[in-house]
Amino acid sequence: MNLNLQPKHTVLPGFTPALGFTIFYLSLIVLIPLSAAFLKTSLLTWDAFWATVTAPRVMASYRLSFGAAFIGAAINAVFGLLVAWVLVRYKFPGKRIIDALVDLPFALPTAVAGIALTAVYAPNGWLGSILEPHGIKVAFTPLGVVVALTFIGLPFVVRTVQPVLEDLEAEAEEAAVSLGANRWQTFTKIIFPAIAPALLTGFSLAFARAIGEYGSVIFIAGNMPMISEITPLLIITKLEQYDYAGATAIAVVMLVISFVLLLIINGLQWWNAKRNGSIK
Distance from C-alpha of 66 to C-alpha of 183, rounded to nearest angstrom: 34
Give yes or no for a contact between 253 and 203, defined as CB atoms under 8 angstroms apart: no
Q: Is 38 within the bounds of a domain?
A: no
Does residue 9 sit within a domain? Answer: no
Q: In the predicted model, is pLDDT for residue 67 greater than 90?
A: yes
**What is the domain range of residue 261?**
49-275
Q: Which long-range contacts (CB under 8 A, 24 or more apart) does 236-241 make?
A: none
pLDDT exceeds cutoff 70 at 29: yes
Q: Any idea what DSSP says for residue 28?
A: I
Percent of the chain with pLDDT over 90: 36
Q: Distances in Å between the alpha carbon of 181 and those of 89, 191, 192, 247?
A: 20, 12, 14, 56
For residue 132, being part of any structural domain is answered with: yes
Q: Residue 108's domain is classified under what CATH number? A: 1.10.3720.10
Whole-number pLDDT of residue 276: 61
Q: Is 30 contained in some domain?
A: no
Q: Which residue has the higher pLDDT, 3 or 90?
A: 90
Number of domains in the chain: 1
* pLDDT of res. 16: 77
Q: What is the pLDDT of residues 82-99, one digit of tens each?
A: 999 999 988 889 899 999
Domain assignment of residue 238, yes or no: yes
What value does the mean pLDDT of the chain take? 85
pLDDT recorded at residue 60: 94
Tens digit of each residue's pLDDT (9 = 90 or more) over 219-247: 898 888 899 999 999 999 998 988 888 99
pLDDT score recorded for residue 156: 93
Mean pLDDT of 247-269: 85
**Is residue 80 very low, low, confident or very high in pLDDT (cuts 50, 70, 90)?**
very high
